[in-house]
C-alpha cells in the first residue's frame, strides 16, 4: 500500500534519519506551573526509543516505568527533545543521573503528571543532502505549495513496523487466526491495522481529488463508481482536498466534531484553515460519516474491539523555515506539525512520491 500525494513533481535528494540530520522537539500543550508534586524533565535523547529512555531513568531513581509520565513516543533514529514527569521527591536521586545518550536539559515543577497526548505538536528540523542546481528551486516551489495548502495526514511507516506488515498480524488477531498473550503488543498490532484502514480510506479520497483535478465531476463519478450527480459542485471547491456530503469536520487544530451541512460554506471555512475534514479510525464508540462520505468510509470500516477515533485527514504545516547551504548542497528545513502527524509525509510530498495506488 503506497499513499497518494497531491503534486506531480520529482525531486531528488538524500535524507538520513539520524541524530545529525533529524531533530524532533515536543511543544507542550500548556505552560508548566513551576510548583507542585511532579518534576518535569526536558530530556534530549539520541539513538534510543522513548521506552529505553524511560527505562534508564526509572532504573536509576528506583521506580516503575509506568510511574513516569510522557506525552508521546519519539523516533529512535533522531535527536529528540521531549518532556517527561516523575514524582518531585525523586529530584535528589535524579541529580546523579548520567547517560551517554540522554541529557536532562531543564527541570521544573508541575502539579500533575504528563499524560499521553499532552502536546500542541512537534517541531522538526531536517537536513536534506545532495540538493543540486534546479532541485533547490523545485523544493522552494513545493514548500510554497505546502505552506498555502497543507498535506494529507497519513500514518507514517513507523506505525507499520520495519517490514511494513504489522497490520497483517493485527488483522489476524481480530480474525482470531492469531493468538497472543501480551495485551500491549496485541493492542499495538490491532492499532496498526486501524491505521492501515485509515490510510486506505485516505488513499481513496486522494484518488478522487486527483481525478477531479484532471476530469469532470461526471467522469470522476464513473471512474469511482459513485452515484450519478453525487459530486455536483464539488470540483469548484477551493483547495486540493474536496469535501463531500456527510463528511465529519473538526475545528482546527483542535475542537468540536460536526457534520457538513452546507458544502460550499464549509469548503470556504476549510480553505481559511478554520476547520478540517476527518477520517475514521475504526472501532467502538466512534461517530461515522453519512451521505456520500459515509458510502466511501464504509468500504474501510470494520468491527474492531478497540476504541476508534476521528483523525484529521488534512493538516497544516506551520512555522516553515528553510536555508540552502550551496557549498555543501544542503537544504535545511524546520517546521511544526500537530501531534500525531509524521514528518515523512512532508518528505514524500517534497519528493513527489507515490502518485498511484
Omega of the bond prior to 253 within 30 degrees of 0, cis? yes
Span 159-315: which CATH code?
3.30.2340.10
Indicate the pTM of the whole model.
Answer: 0.90
Residue 354 has pLDDT above 50, yes or no: no
User: Tell me, what's the pLDDT at 115?
Assistant: 94
User: Tell me, what's the pLDDT at 183?
Assistant: 82
Q: Residue 355: which pLDDT band, with cuts at 50, 70 and 90?
A: very low
Beta bridge partners of 42: 83, 106
Q: Residue 310: which pLDDT band, with cuts at 50, 70 and 90?
A: very high
Q: How far is 148 from 318, CA to CA, in rounded Å? A: 10
Residue 2 has pLDDT above 80, yes or no: no
Among the four given CATH numbers 1.20.58.110, 3.30.2350.20, 2.60.120.1140, 3.40.190.10, the one describing domain 1-28+119-150+316-357? 3.30.2350.20
Q: Where are the domains of the chain?
A: 1-28+119-150+316-357, 30-116, 159-315
State what percent of residues in the chain have pLDDT above 70: 98
352 vs 266: which has the higher pLDDT: 266
Q: Residue 182: which pLDDT band, with cuts at 50, 70 and 90?
A: confident
Residue 5 has pLDDT above 90, yes or no: no
Locate 210 and state its grid cell.
486527483
Place of cell 484518488: 207
Q: Residue 357: which pLDDT band, with cuts at 50, 70 and 90?
A: very low
Q: What is the pLDDT of residues 230-260, one digit of tens each?
A: 999 999 999 999 999 999 999 998 889 999 9
Q: Residue 356: which pLDDT band, with cuts at 50, 70 and 90?
A: very low
Span 30-116: which CATH code?
3.30.2350.20
Give the active site residues. 75
Q: What is the pLDDT of residues 192-232, one digit of tens each?
A: 999 999 999 999 999 999 999 999 999 999 999 999 999 99
Locate 3 and state its grid cell.
499513499
Q: What is the pLDDT of residues 336-345, one digit of tens each?
A: 999 999 999 9
Residue 350 has pLDDT above 60, yes or no: yes
Within this chain, domains 30-116 and 159-315 share the same CATH topology: no
145 vs 181: which has the higher pLDDT: 145
First and final C-alpha spacing in the chain: 7
CB within 8 A of 197, min separation 6: which ones?
Answer: 280, 281, 282, 300, 301, 302
Locate 263 and state its grid cell.
458544502
User: Tell me, what's the pLDDT at 225?
Assistant: 96
The residue-averaged pLDDT of 261-281 equals: 96
The pairing of strands 69-70 and 79-87 is antiparallel
The residue-averaged pLDDT of 112-124 equals: 93
User: Tell me, what's the pLDDT at 81?
Assistant: 98
Mean pLDDT for the chain overall = 93
Q: Residue 353: which pLDDT band, with cuts at 50, 70 and 90?
A: low
Beta bridge partners of 121: 27, 338
- The string of DSSP codes covering 191-246 is HHHHHHHHHHHHHHHHHHHHHHHHS-HHHHHHHHTPPTTTTTTTTTSSSSSPP-TT
The residue-averaged pLDDT of 158-172 equals: 86
Amino acid at each position: 500500500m503506497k499513499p497518494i500525494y497531491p503534486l506531480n513533481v520529482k525531486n531528488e535528494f538524500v535524507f538520513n534519519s539520524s541524530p545529525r540530520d533529524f531533530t524532533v522537539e515536543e511543544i507542550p500543550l500548556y505552560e508548566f506551573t513551576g510548583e507542585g508534586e511532579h518534576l518535569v524533565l526536558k530530556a534530549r535523547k539520541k539513538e534510543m526509543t522513548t521506552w529505553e529512555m524511560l527505562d534508564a531513568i526509572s532504573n536509576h531513581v528506583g521506580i516503575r516505568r509506568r510511574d513516569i509520565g510522557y506525552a508521546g513516543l519519539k523516533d529512535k533514529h533522531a535527536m529528540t527533545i521531549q518532556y517527561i514527569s516523575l514524582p518531585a521527591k525523586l529530584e535528589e536521586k535524579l541529580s546523579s543521573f548520567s547517560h551517554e545518550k540522554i541529557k536532562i536539559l531543564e527541570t521544573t515543577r508541575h502539579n500533575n503528571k504528563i499524560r499521553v497526548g499532552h502536546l500542541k505538536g512537534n517541531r522538526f528540523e531536517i537536513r536534506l543532502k545532495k540538493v543540486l542546481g534546479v532541485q533547490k528551486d523545485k523544493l522552494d516551489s513545493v514548500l510554497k505549495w505546502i505552506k498555502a495548502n497543507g498535506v494529507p495526514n497519513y500514518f507514517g511507516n513507523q506505525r507499520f513496523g520495519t517490514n511494513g506488515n504489522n497490520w497483517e498480524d493485527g488483522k489476524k488477531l481480530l480474525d482470531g487466526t492469531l493468538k497472543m498473550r501480551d495485551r500491549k503488543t496485541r493492542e499495538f498490532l490491532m492499532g496498526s491495522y486501524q491505521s492501515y484502514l485509515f490510510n486506505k480510506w485516505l488513499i481513496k479520497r486522494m484518488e478522487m481529488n486527483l481525478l477531479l483535478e484532471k476530469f469532470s465531476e461526471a467522469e470522476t463519478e464513473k471512474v469511482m463508481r459513485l452515484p450519478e450527480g453525487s459530486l455536483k459542485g464539488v470540483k469548484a471547491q477551493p483547495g486540493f482536498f474536496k469535501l463531500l456530503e456527510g463528511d465529519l469536520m473538526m475545528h482546527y487544530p483542535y475542537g468540536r466534531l460536526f457534520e457538513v451541512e452546507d458544502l460550499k460554506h464549509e469548503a470556504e471555512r476549510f480553505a481559511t484553515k478554520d476547520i478540517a475534514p476527518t477520517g475514521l479510525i475504526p472501532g467502538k464508540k466512534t461517530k461515522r460519516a453519512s451521505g456520500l462520505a459515509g458510502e466511501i468510509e464504509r468500504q474501510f470500516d470494520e468491527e474492531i474491539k478497540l476504541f476508534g477515533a476521528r483523525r484529521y485527514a488534512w493538516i497544516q504545516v506551520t512555522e516553515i523555515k528553510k536555508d540552502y547551504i550551496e557549498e555543501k548542497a544542503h537544504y535545511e528545513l524546520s517546521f511544526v506539525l500537530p501531534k500525531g502527524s509524521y514528518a515523512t509525509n512532508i518528505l514524500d510530498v517534497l519528493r513527489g512520491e507515490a502518485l498511484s495506488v
